[in-house]
């Protein structure tokens, strides 16, 4: 099968022929239908975060089940599924307390002595984040995908695999936004737009979108932003303070930078909570003013929207089908696997919301 392989940090992905193994007892072989090109992939291409190479990248996808292992009970051949990188073991403390996205278990992966799931003619290849979805097929643990209704279009379903689950989940699962509360979202890429949409579904009173690009702020309004702040036109914290008369209940950082994380904390009202979604480069320190803790301001991280994805994802599908999740507006272009590098270039320019690779 064809797959997009990262062999060297900083170099374009190469489209290669990759061999995929047969499903083990708890594994599922999936024919990939669509795969979103997420900013997190770019962090590994650039080397901002390390990963063993060569690896088949991609982690936001939908597909159809082709084969299942002997013990698989959660999906059947022919099922439409969305994948999730939050593969969970099901029996550790995190899983048993409903925090499956924190599961540190490795039993959902193959061990070092097992045949690899992916390989080329000479060597094993690393599977990326339990998935490797820039490929015509995926071989994954059954706890890395969930069945969805068949009338859900596969291109928008793929987005639920990462950006939507990350953004909406940060609002509902991590920040637990209550109806009427004021929310600011810094960064209006795929995850930020999903957070804005999630805040709208959760019944937030005011939803303030913050970005440097007017085109993204216009898009944010379609997703439910009630106010926009153009951070290229002066200090965004001052602008949010003026708009709200004293700060927001929730600020969400959806870029992954030191200054925007500090801005998220600074724009809180007394008692407010900053939730950091973005992947901040390794080794970065965040500086906060100690006196703000006397105002009971809080800051927390959110990993993959604190998801319980087998529950969350089918709900997000229903939100889309009933018109509440605006996923169609999130896809800026549909491309072929061979065009994946140009999608990364677009991401680096920060212009487009989302490119989705479509497989035939
Ligand atoms: Zn992602
Ligand atoms: Zn677990």
Nearest listed ligand to the Cα of residue 106? 2
251 Cα distance to chain centroid: 18
13 and 154, same domain (yes or no): yes
Catalytic, 289? Answer no
User: At 104, which CATH number?
Assistant: 3.90.180.10
* Length, in residues, of the chain: 360
Evaluate if residue 352 carries a pLDDT over 70. Answer: no
Domain membership flag for residue 107: yes
CA distances from 41 to 135, 218, 233, 236, 354 (A): 14, 26, 30, 28, 13
174 Cα distance to chain centroid: 14
**Ligand 1 centroid to residue 59 C-alpha, Å:** 6
Write out pLDDT tens, residues 157-216.
Answer: 999 999 999 999 999 999 999 999 999 999 998 899 999 999 999 999 999 999 999 999
139 and 281, same domain (yes or no): no
Q: Where a domain ends, among 301, 317, 336?
A: 301
- Preceding amide of 168 cis, omega within 30: no
Nearest listed ligand to the Cα of residue 86? 2
Task: Check 95, 103, 145, 162 and give the catalytic one.
Answer: 162
* Beta-bridge mates of residue 184: 208, 251
Q: Where a domain ends, among 282, 301, 320?
A: 301
Range of the domain at 72: 2-161+306-358
Domain membership flag for residue 24: yes
Domain membership flag for residue 167: no
Domain membership flag for residue 92: yes
What average pLDDT score do residues 25-43 get?
94
71 and 180, same domain (yes or no): no
Residues around ligand 1, an ion, CB closer than 5 A? 38, 40, 162
Phi, psi at 267, each rounded to 5°: -90, 10
Write out pLDDT tens, residues 324-333.
Answer: 999 998 898 9
Q: Is the pLDDT higher at 353 or at 59?
A: 59
Nearest listed ligand to the Cα of residue 141? 2
Q: How many structural domains comprise the chain?
A: 2
Nearest to 57 by CA among 322, 357, 309, 360: 357
Its sign, for the CA torsion 108, 109, 114, 120, is positive
Catalytic, 59? Answer yes
Domain membership flag for residue 166: no
Which pLDDT belongs to residue 108? Answer: 96
Nearest listed ligand to the Cα of residue 36? 1
**Ligand 1 centroid to residue 354 C-alpha, Å:** 11
**Ligand 2 centroid to residue 144 C-alpha, Å:** 12
What average pLDDT score do residues 148-159 get?
98
Catalytic, 99? Answer no
Which pLDDT belongs to residue 351? Answer: 66
**Ligand 2 centroid to residue 182 C-alpha, Å:** 34
Nearest listed ligand to the Cα of residue 100? 2
Write out pLDDT tens, residues 117-130.
Answer: 999 877 899 999 99
Residue 353 pLDDT class (50, 70, 90 cuts): low
What average pLDDT score do residues 9-26 get?
96
Q: What 3-state class would DSSP assign to 8? A: coil
What average pLDDT score do residues 341-358 get?
85
136 and 12, same domain (yes or no): yes
Catalytic, 40? Answer yes
Residue 30 pLDDT class (50, 70, 90 cuts): very high
**Ligand 1 centroid to residue 304 C-alpha, Å:** 8
Task: Check 26, 38, 143, 145 and give the catalytic one.
Answer: 38
Which pLDDT belongs to residue 168? Answer: 98
185 and 152, same domain (yes or no): no
Q: Where a domain ends, among 253, 277, 301?
A: 301
61 and 148, same domain (yes or no): yes
**Ligand 2 centroid to residue 100 C-alpha, Å:** 6
Task: Check 26, 59, 80, 143 and give the catalytic one.
Answer: 59
297 and 319, same domain (yes or no): no
**Ligand 2 centroid to residue 96 C-alpha, Å:** 7
Task: Check 26, 39, 43, 143 and give the catalytic one.
Answer: 43
7 and 42, same domain (yes or no): yes
What average pLDDT score do residues 92-100 get?
96
188 and 92, same domain (yes or no): no
What average pLDDT score do residues 27-34 get?
98
Based on its alpha-carbon atoms, the radius of gyration of the chain, rounded to whole angstroms, reads 20
Residue 354 pLDDT class (50, 70, 90 cuts): confident
Residue 227 pLDDT class (50, 70, 90 cuts): very high
How high is the mean pLDDT of the chain?
95
224 and 280, same domain (yes or no): yes
CA distance 352 to 355: 8
Strands 355-358 and 27-37: antiparallel
Catalytic, 162? Answer yes
Write out pLDDT tens, residues 291-324.
Answer: 999 999 999 999 999 999 999 999 999 999 999 9
């Amino acid at each position: 099968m064809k797959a997009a392989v990262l062999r060297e940090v900083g170099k374009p992905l190469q489209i290669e022929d990759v061999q995929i193994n047969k499903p083990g007892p708890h594994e599922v072989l999936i024919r990939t239908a669509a795969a979103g090109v997420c900013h997190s992939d770019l962090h590994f291409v650039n080397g901002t975060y390390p990963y063993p190479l060569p690896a088949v990248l991609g982690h936001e996808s939908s597909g159809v089940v082709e084969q299942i292992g002997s013990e698989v009970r959660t999906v059947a051949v022919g099922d439409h599924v969305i994948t999730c990188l939050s593969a969970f073991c099901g029996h550790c403390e995190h899983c048993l307390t409903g925090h499956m996205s924190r599961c540190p278990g490795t039993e959902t992966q193959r061990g070092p002595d097992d045949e690899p799931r992916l390989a080329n003619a000479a060597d094993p290849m690393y599977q990326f984040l339990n998935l490797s979805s820039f490929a015509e097929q995926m071989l994954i643990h059954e706890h890395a995908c969930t069945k969805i209704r068949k009338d859900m279009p596969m291109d928008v379903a793929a987005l639920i695999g990462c950006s939507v689950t990350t953004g909406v989940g940060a609002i509902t699962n991590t920040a637990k936004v209550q109806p009427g509360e004021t929310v600011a979202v810094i960064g209006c890429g795929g995850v930020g737009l999903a957070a804005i949409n999630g805040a709208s579904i959760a019944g937030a009173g005011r939803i303030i979108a913050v970005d440097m690009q007017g085109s993204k702020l216009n898009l944010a309004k379609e997703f439910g932003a009630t106010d926009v702040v153009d951070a290229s036109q002066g200090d965004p914290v001052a602008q949010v303070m003026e708009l709200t008369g004293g700060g927001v209940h929730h600020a969400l950082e959806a870029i992954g930078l030191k200054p925007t994380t500090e801005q998220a904390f600074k724009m809180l009202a007394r008692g407010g909570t900053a939730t950091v979604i973005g992947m901040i480069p390794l080794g970065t320190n965040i500086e906060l003013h100690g006196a703000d803790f006397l105002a009971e301001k809080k800051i927390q991280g959110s990993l993959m929207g604190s998801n319980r994805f087998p529950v969350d994802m089918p709900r997000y599908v229903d939100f889309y089908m009933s018109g509440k999740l605006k996923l169609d507006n999130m896809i800026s272009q549909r491309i072929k696997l061979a065009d994946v590098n140009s999608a990364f270039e677009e991401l680096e320019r920060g212009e487009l919301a989302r490119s989705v690779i479509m497989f035939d």
